[in-house]
Amino acid sequence: MADVFVERLSVERELVSDDERGQWPFTIPCVAAIARDGLELRRPVTFLVGENGSGKSTLVEAIAEAAGLDARGGRAGRKYGNQRPMTRLGEVMRLGLTREGAKMRLRARNKRKGYFLRAETLFGLAEVVSGLPGYWPEELSSISHGEGFLTVFQAMFSEPGLYLMDEPEAALSFRSCLELVALMHDLGRGGAQVICATHSPILASTPEADIIEVGDFGLRRVAWADLAITDHWRRYLTDPSAYLRHLIDP
């Protein structure tokens, strides 16, 4: 197994009642699969890929909570006045740590390395931390959304640590997505671990990444060329009318 901090995800089933197992989020197929069998993380860069509602963001949020990262987004060792209680899945999610992961977990909170980039909350967080020591000096409200995302990537994703992302492509152009691919590849090669939930076939094409597709079937490892999103985008760009004729009246 390649060097990672977290090598396995599991759910402490003894803490989940029989009634809870029949309720959300434990009824989401990918969550049920992890509760039943666990999930090995085999490479420094892992993508969770699936449709809206498939559970990929729910998983990444729970991983963040289990790792001690603010579920609303932000860096290791710092909370941002988030009064929201931990999600139920975050409470019972367990991270199987490697020796390096355990060493990092034992460090003082302000010495831990990691960041959770959550697209929907990034700019609210930036209002609190922009300009503070250890962050980015730029005021993100004065630049475009895409430039703001890249500013955060470049400032916060630069050392070996655990980096989680939830749909970071939300504000990125094609070219900016390629920049993020290069960054994630460099992070993986440089001793960091990245876990990213995405809809983007561009991000999922990161060389040497492990791709886990989530859906009604639960979880499965898939080669990039065999991903459903790769197939749909390829066919759509070849012939948009093949899709649009089902949605738009002539």
**What pLDDT does residue 120 have?**
83
92's enclosing H/E stretch is helix 88-92
CATH architecture assignment, domain 6-223: 3-Layer(aba) Sandwich (3.40)
* For range 217-237, the mean pLDDT: 96
Contact 195, 101 (CB under 8 A): no
* For range 69-77, the mean pLDDT: 79
pLDDT band at 79 (very low <50, low <70, confident <90, very high): low
Rounded Cα–Cα distance for residues 10 and 31 (Å): 9
pLDDT band at 1 (very low <50, low <70, confident <90, very high): very low
Mean pLDDT of the chain: 90
The tens digit of pLDDT for each residue in 161-178 reads 999 999 999 889 999 999
**What pLDDT does residue 178 have?**
96
Please provide the size of the chain in residues: 250
Nearest to 62 by CA among 30, 36, 37: 30
- Distance from the first to the final alpha carbon of the chain: 53
Rounded Cα–Cα distance for residues 64 and 247 (Å): 38
* For range 91-97, the mean pLDDT: 97
pTM of the predicted protein model: 0.93
> Among 28-32, 119-123, 242-246, which range has the highest average pLDDT?
28-32
CB contact burial 76-112 (16+ within 10 A = b; e otherwise): bbbeeeeeeeebbbbebbebbbbebbeebeeeeeeeb
Residue 164: helix, strand or coil by DSSP?
A: strand
Residue 80: helix, strand or coil by DSSP?
A: coil
Tokens of 12: 């402490």
**What pLDDT does residue 95 have?**
97
Block residue for tokens 């909350």: 121
198's enclosing H/E stretch is strand 193-198
The tens digit of pLDDT for each residue in 147-156 reads 888 888 888 8
* For range 186-193, the mean pLDDT: 95
Contact 116, 164 (CB under 8 A): yes
* For range 88-117, the mean pLDDT: 90
**What pLDDT does residue 139 have?**
84
**What pLDDT does residue 33 have?**
97
Q: Mention every residue, 6+ apart, whose C-beta is less than 8 A from residue 86.
A: 65, 71
pLDDT band at 50 (very low <50, low <70, confident <90, very high): very high
